Structure 1
Amino acid sequence: MSNSLLEFFTAMDNQGGVIVKDAPKFDLDLYIQNYRGRTRFDRLLLIGQSSVALCVEALKAAVAEAKRGRDTHRYKEAVESLRQAAPSEPEARLDQAWLSTTELANENEKARLSVELKGYKNNLLKESIRMGHEDLAKFLESIGDLNMATESFSKMRPDISTLKQLIDVGRHLVRVAIQRREWGMISPHLAKMSLGGSFPEDEKVLQPYLRIATGIAFLGMEKYQEAASNFLSVDPTIPSSTYNEIASRNDVAIYGGLLALATMDRKELQAQVLDNSPFRVFLELEPHIRKAVTYFVNGRYSACIETLEAYRTDYLLDIYLQKHISTIYAKIRSKCIVQYLIPFSCVSLDTMNKAFGSPEEPIEEELAAMIQAGILDARINIIDRLVTTVRVDPRSKMQAEALESAERYERQAIDQLRRMGIVAADLELRGGKKMGVHSLSMVSDQGLGGDEMVS
């Protein structure tokens, strides 16, 4: 590694970035061809700022991608990163002529679109006003002014007259919200796009986009189970061109498979992943994900972990997974360890280390952390080097559940008797509560003395 590259990644590490030292398994050119739109630059820049092996190649591609657009801020960011990592590269120097020309053209285009929109508003042409807002919003998005783009896209809503226009506005707002990482705003935008089954053909075409965008939003909010359900239900018959501005078909397989492994048990994995015919179409693109799920379902937990670890580098270079991959992998690993111990009452630490540990990271500390977190119900015997699972006596468990049911029934019976007494005394319960006690009011003409009040 050159000195400049070392200094670049040292700086990125100090800023809290994720540094991936190993080379990924994917080919960068083939990988980026799966996407269109502004996500291409986002992915290239992330790879360039994270992958030691692909840094220069990805940053040069990011510079070229930026110059194909009109976002000068992105171009400057890519060039600056490349200048720090590889200052000798020709692309590491700013193209001042291109910058000046593009910035001037952007100013003129923004002024032209603003004047056109103002004219449409003066003439009260509803359809023209909608199109004027859309043209201006797309332009603002293209130059990286996402705040104003969101505002302009939102202004299209009052002038919508067809179902297609409603869907288009929703897609624009969702796309910008994903770029801004505003995960909480995606669901409201998607809800306004939902057709509710009234137009089945249009809904079928729109279904993958809705599911994938919802899944990405839940992933961003760390709601992994909800995200998995959405990715597992994507329709594979719809072309990827309808959603590849946010994700690819390979991404659907990876996100769905990993999140399912992290949140579902073996029966659910069998039913919702391996036996899910539509999702198997996506899994064919990422056979190692199918293999990992199969290993888990068949009880080959160490093989499942090894398969996933071989692709950790690739997933650390994904714009949506990078911040979550350590948590997702930890959940999968914990599940594997718990499932591994279920058939046994006692397992030696040496056996556990052979299956899940490594010379650098013995299993003992991980098991202790799982026990403290309540994930694993077991005890560790350091002297004899044994892990003993805590077994619950089925008879004692059944007796405890029976006693709890009896106590619950008794409480309900007393409550019913109390209510019957209140009704018999011609009293009623008001809805309001004060200090946890229901207030009572008379409904008969005869009053009650202090000694006659019902408690």
Structure 2
Amino acid sequence: MDRSQTSESQHVDHNIIENARNNVEPMVIDMAVEENDNTEDEPVIVESTSLDLETYANCYTGLAKLQRLVFIADRCPQLRVEALRMAIQYVQTTYNVNLYTQLHRKMQEAVSGANAGNASLPDIAGGQVGGGVVATLPVLDMQWVESRAKKAALKLEKLDTDLKNSKVNSIKESIRRGHDDLGDHYLDCGDLSNALKCYSRARDYCTSFRHIINMCLNVIKVSIYLNNWSHVLSYVSKAQATPEVSESRAAAKSFLGAQLDACDFPDLLSTSNVAISFKLFLEVEPQLRDIIFKFYESKYAFCLKLLDELKDVLMLDMYLAPHLNTLYTRIRNRALIQYFSPYMSADLEKMATAFNTTISALEDELMALILDGQIQARIDSHNKILYAKAVEERSMTFERSLEMGREHIMRVKGLILRSALIKNQIHVKSPPREGGGGGGQGSGDVTMAATNSSASAPRN
């Protein structure tokens, strides 16, 4: 009887588990779908753009130039072939053999896709290609690949031998330079992980603050190429914490007084990428200057129109593109808030004209801002008027004061409890974890440890 009851109960439990698996709550599914909708995995394709590719590419050097050209080739069909051609020409000045073959593979795919779609492509070779344009297509040179790979291997062997000799002689400066040279060579070959390791190993052989700063800059550069932003922030903090350069106030004044001619760092960014709060940097991008001026002149329709015209070019920036839609939305929301801030009421028809949109679309935008708490107002949909809410500053001040009082009381109680624990020598010790046990058991052990220590703690 006991066995039959046990098997029957196990059968019932099995059915319950199966029903639970099949009957998934709809809220869980909805949340998963919403998360997938918020993540932009598919790249945005820019069909047409006014970007001068040659001028844009000349602003960069090294791997940054290659990464940006490949990004443009993946996002813009109009510039795909030209970007790949320029990338192939530039990669031949490096030891990056793998990227050279990958670029040729992308070029063949671009040409075959263009032939299938009967699209006219500039600078494509070898004969008639969509539209009858004749040009020279870069040919995959296997002799260059083999010779370049051999030269890279020989140079790597020489640098490795020099580093070993320096370690035998225990010369710190030579060892540091050896690690830097190895990192530079790996970076030139496109091996970013080994380059990062070599640059990081140079830290133990830095003998001055300049060496530490140089090491941090090298690691930051490779981490940016790898899109490892947490590593970037970590080494930025290490560079700022160097004792010889810890005068933050003087450093900030120096940054604000930076000259345009001294900004020469093309292997990461160009002058047009620097924060445009500096007037001289702003002169490099006259379109952005006009947009900012129109925004603060309250000419929002013209400002947003210029932003839309610039969007296709900005979508081809590999670091800015993933955040561009969010930035555009925030700029537009800021314009709506700034437009309404000095008024007690605003006509939605005039407001829609000022922002070059329809009244219904404007109502949706304003409703989102009101629900988000960015605008304290209410919408009269019948009369098409936006009214500002009368905020009682007196009551809000009292509420803030009471909230601050409650926070201070909680902090004081916490301090009193801590001082009482220290005074009575109560120590809470967590047991050592063995194989990652359950959380409930660990918390019980901590409580028992606290009780035992409070009961039998010796007094010195």
Q: Could you state the TM-score of these two structures normalised by the residue count of structure 1?
A: 0.69
**Letter matched to residue 401 of structure 2:** S
Shift of 1:77: 2.3
Pair 1:362-2:384 in alignment: no
Give per-residue Cα distances to partners, 1:375-417, cap 9 Å, x unaligned. Answer: 3344444444x24234124xx331342365368669979999x
- Which residue in 2 is equivalent to 1:51? 76
Helix, strand or coil at the partner of 1:86: helix
In the TM superposition, 1:261-410 aligns within 5 A as 273=277, 279-358=278-357, 362-384=361-383, 386-393=384-391, 396-402=392-398, 405=401
> Does the residue aligned with 2:77 lie in a helix, a strand or coil?
coil
Whole-Å separation in 2 of the counterparts to 1:369 and 1:238: 45
The structural deviation recorded for 1:151 is 0.7
CA distance in 1 between counterparts of 2:400 and 2:361 reads 42
CA contact (8 A) 2:187 2:195 kept: yes
Query: Relative to 1, partners in 2 of residues 1:376 and 1:405: Cα closer, same or farther, differing over 3 Å?
Result: closer
What letter is aligned with 1:336?
A: A
Are the counterparts in 2 of residues 207 and 235 from structure 1 also a CA contact under 8 Å?
no
Write the deviation string for residues 276-303 of structure 1: whole angstroms up to 9, x where unpaired.
Answer: xxx1111111122222222222222222
Amino acid at match of 1:248: S
Aligned-residue offset at 1:368: 3.4
Gaps of 5+ in 1: 1-13, 212-232, 258-272, 274-278, 423-427, 442-455
Is the contact between residue 134 and residue 153 of structure 1 (CA under 8 Å) also seen in structure 2?
yes
| Aligned partners of 2:180 and 2:199 also within 8 Å | yes
1:389 aligned partner, one-letter code: Y
**CA offset at residue 97 of structure 1?**
1.7
Relative distance call for 1:373 and 1:160 in structure 2 (3 A) is: same
Distance 1:403 1:313, change over 3 A: closer
Matches of 1:358 and 1:174, distance apart in 2: 44
CA distance in 2, matches of 1:383, 1:361: 12
Secondary structure, counterpart of 1:389 in structure 2: strand
What is the match of residue 66 of structure 1? 91
In 1, distance between residues paired with 2:180 and 2:403? 64
Aligned mates of 2:164, 2:202 — CA distance in 1: 14
Please give the secondary structure, in 2, of the residue aligned with 1:371. Answer: helix
The one-letter amino acid of 2:270's match is S
Q: 1:301 to 1:81 in 2, by over 3 A?
A: same
2:71–2:316 Cα contact (<8 Å) kept: yes
Picking from 143, 156, 159, the partner of 1:97 is: 143
SS in 1 for 2:62: coil
Q: What code does the residue aligned with 1:50 have?
A: R
In 2, Cα distance between equivalents of 1:127 and 1:144: 26
1:200 positional shift: 10
Whether the aligned pair in 1 keeps the contact of 2:91 and 2:100 (CA below 8 Å) is: yes
Give the aligned residue type for 1:20.
Answer: V
Give the 3 Å change call, closer, same or farther, for CA 117–207 of structure 1 in structure 2: farther
Paired residue secondary structure (1:310): helix
Q: What amino acid sits opposite 2:297 in the alignment?
A: N
Q: 1:366 Cα deviation (Å)?
A: 3.0
- Matched residue of 1:376: which SS? coil
Which amino acid counterpart does residue 19 of structure 1 have in structure 2?
Answer: I
* C-alpha deviation, 1:349, in angstroms: 4.0
Aligned partners of 1:353 and 1:321: how far apart in 2?
Answer: 29
What amino acid sits opposite 2:55 in the alignment? L
Larger Rg over CA atoms: 2
Give 1:176 deviation, angstroms.
Answer: 0.4
Aligned length: 364
Give the stretch that moved more between structures: 406-415 or 168-177.
Answer: 406-415
Equivalent pair of 1:113/1:132 in contact (CA under 8 Å): yes
Give deviations 1:190-224, integer Å, cap 9, x for gaps. Answer: 233337684699x99x989x97xxxxxxxxxxxxx
Distance 2:343 2:60 in 1: 48
CA gap 1:368/1:414 in 2 versus in 1, 3 angstroms: closer
Deviates more, 1:295-304 or 1:145-154: 295-304
Matches within 5 A, 1:190-229: 190-194=236-240, 198=244
The answer for the alignment partner of 1:446 in structure 2 is none
Q: Is the 8 A contact 1:63 1:91 kept in 2?
A: no
Give the match for residue 165 of structure 2: 119
| Aligned CA distance change for structure 1 residues 105 and 387 (closer, same or farther; 3 Å) | farther
Tell me if structure 1 keeps the 8 A contact 2:183–2:195.
yes
Q: 2:64 aligns to what? A: 39
1:16 counterpart residue number: 42
| Alignment-mate amino acid for residue 89 of structure 2 | A
CA contact (8 A) 2:68 2:317 kept: yes
Aligned partner of 2:209 in structure 1 is 163
Match of 2:440 in 1: none
State the alpha-carbon separation in 2 of the partners of residues 311 and 116 from structure 1: 51
Give the direction of change, closer, same or farther, for the CA distance of 1:153–1:299 in structure 2 (3 Å limit): same
For residues 24-69 of structure 1, the C-alpha deviation after alignment (integer angstroms, 9 at most, x for no partner) is: 2x42222222222221111111112212332221111011111111
SS at match of 2:284: coil
**Structure 2 unaligned spans of 5+:** 1-39, 113-123, 126-135, 429-450, 455-460
C-alpha root-mean-square deviation of aligned residues, in Å?
Answer: 3.8
Alignment check: 8 A CA contact 1:378 1:387 kept: no
> Retained in 1: the 8 A contact 2:196–2:222?
yes
SS of residue matched to 1:106: helix
- Per the alignment, do residues 298 and 79 of structure 1 end up closer, same or farther by CA in structure 2, a change over 3 Å counting? same
2:263 aligned partner: 240
Q: Which amino acid aligns with 2:197?
A: E
Could you list the per-position Cα deviations for residues 410-445 of structure 1 after superposition, in whole angstroms to 9, with x for gaps in the alignment?
Answer: 9979999x99xx9xxxxx7445899xxxx9x9xxxx
- The aligned counterpart of 2:271 is 249
How far apart are the structure 1 equivalents of 2:246 and 2:402?
50
